[in-house]
Every structure is written in structure tokens, then in C-alpha cells.
Structure 1
């Protein structure tokens, strides 16, 4: 059985990726870093080991900004699209909205991180049925 390849990229197409599954830890997050990185009250992420991700677009790898002791936020230098977070522990967390098929059931968030930072007016439901 072969692994699934998930593809996606930024708004302008300069940064493209192919991630070889399985998709790990799909989740939503409402921490302030995610809110400010995406401009949204909650971000939807999925993780892949670094060695299972290839940058395939003409822009090669995304630009990064060091956001914490263990992670850098990734974005397209041409159009500014948020791509994800590249962690030191060799993990890349990609924003689900950047995938070519964000509706793929394998990318459905299973849990919600930093729920205490979520605005009270926003309801977030995960595939596990938790809010």
C-alpha cells in the first residue's frame, strides 16, 4: 500500500508542496501566534515529518520568521500567503486551507488547541464532535 500524497501551495503558486501521508495531528488552534499568523481567530493545521515534505514550486522553500524557541512561521515572499510552521523537531505544520483539497476527510481537525483564546462568538467543531 502506498502513502497518500497531499499537495497544495500559496495564493500565487510560487510556493507549492507535496506532503506524503499519513497526515498527522490535524487540529485547530486559537493561540495568539496562530491568530496573528493567519489573521483568523482560529487556524486549522496538519503535521508531517520534515522528511516527508517536498517544496515543489518555482519559489522553492517559503520564507520564514522565527516565532518561538522551537518554531518558525512560513509564508510566501511573493504574495504573503501563510503556509504553516516549520518546527525544530523536524515537523512541518501546514495550514489546511493551503491544500489543493482542504475538504479531504484525512485533514479534518481532531481536536482544538488553546480553546481558551478562542473568541466566545466563534464555535469550532472538530471531527471528534468536540467544540
Structure 2
């Protein structure tokens, strides 16, 4: 069953709708994705390129001789990955408006995988709304802590 899901960048300048066939996502651990996102891995959803409709075309940069990445030049949000020679594309899980349904099914770029970051279930959990240093800054700005 194909369903439409929306997403975009943090500032709202770039918005998209993607037609998805399933809830599968994957983590890419390659050094290019680590550098492009600033994280230990990039979480992606693979979609056919023609299954994505951009309300406002994203900015693109050549991240290597074989790939390009869409992003927002206004806020810096990384939005995905696409090989230069075509095929499908990958959208960042975090750029979807509601990424909660996605399930990781694979690890790509495993040569650069940092295993210590995969199983973090025993680490203490801090919630933004109850972390005083965060909550007081949102309150001072006259806003509630976002989810």
C-alpha cells in the first residue's frame, strides 16, 4: 500500500511529499554520510526519485564524484542523498514530519560503523522539557519546549 508522507527542513523553506511503499529505513555509516550529517550515521529512507515532489526545490551540492545531496541553504538541514548517475534517492528519516513509523532494516557503509553508538538502551535519558538548562531558555523565549 503506497502512502504519501510529508517532510522538509527545519526552517520550513524546503518541503516535500514522498510516496512510500513501506516503512523500511536504513543506517549508512560511511564516512561521507557521517561528515554530511555530523552524526555517527545517516538514517535514510530509499524511494524512487520520481516518488518525491518538492514544493520548493532544495539546494544541492556534490558530496563526492559519484553523489549529490539535497539540503536547505537557509538552515543547513541535510535532506538526502542521490547517486549522480540516477536511480532512486534517499531521504533523511529526521526530515520527515512524522518519522515514527520507520523501522531500520539494514546497515550500509559498515566499514565505518561505530558499534558503541548502536546499543544505547542502558544510557540515562534526559527529556528536553525536564532539563532545566533547556526548558528555561525556551520559557525565556516565550515558548514551550518543542517535542
TM-score, scaled relative to structure 1: 0.82
Bigger CA radius of gyration: 2
Distance in 2 between residues matched to 1:81 and 1:9, nearest whole Å: 8
How far off is 1:24 after superposition?
7.7
Q: Which runs of 5+ in 1 are unaligned?
A: 126-131
State the secondary structure of the residue aligned to 1:35. helix
Compared CA separation, residues 63 and 45, structure 1 to 2 (3 A): same
How far off is 1:108 after superposition?
1.1
Q: Which runs of 5+ in 2 are unaligned?
A: 121-147
Q: Is the 8 A contact 2:79 2:91 kept in 1?
A: yes
Q: Deviations over 1:57-87 (max 9, x none)?
A: xxx1111111233320111011111000123
Q: Is the 8 A contact 1:29 1:112 kept in 2?
A: yes
Q: Structure 1 residue 90 and structure 2 residue 82: aligned?
A: no
Q: Which structure: greater helix fraction?
A: 2
RMSD: 1.9
How far off is 1:25 after superposition?
5.6
Q: Which structure: greater strand fraction?
A: 1
Give the match for residue 38 of structure 1.
37
Q: Deviations over 1:13-63 (max 9, x none)?
A: 00011001214862101100100010001111011111111002xxx1111
Q: Structure 1 residue 77 and structure 2 residue 76: aligned?
A: no
Give the match for residue 63 of structure 2.
67
Distance in 2 between residues matched to 1:19 and 1:91, nearest whole Å: 12
Compared CA separation, residues 48 and 110, structure 1 to 2 (3 A): same
- Larger RCO, structure (CA 8 Å, separation 6 or more): 1
Distance in 2 between residues matched to 1:31 and 1:52, nearest whole Å: 25
Q: Aligned match of 2:103 in 89, 92, 108?
A: 108
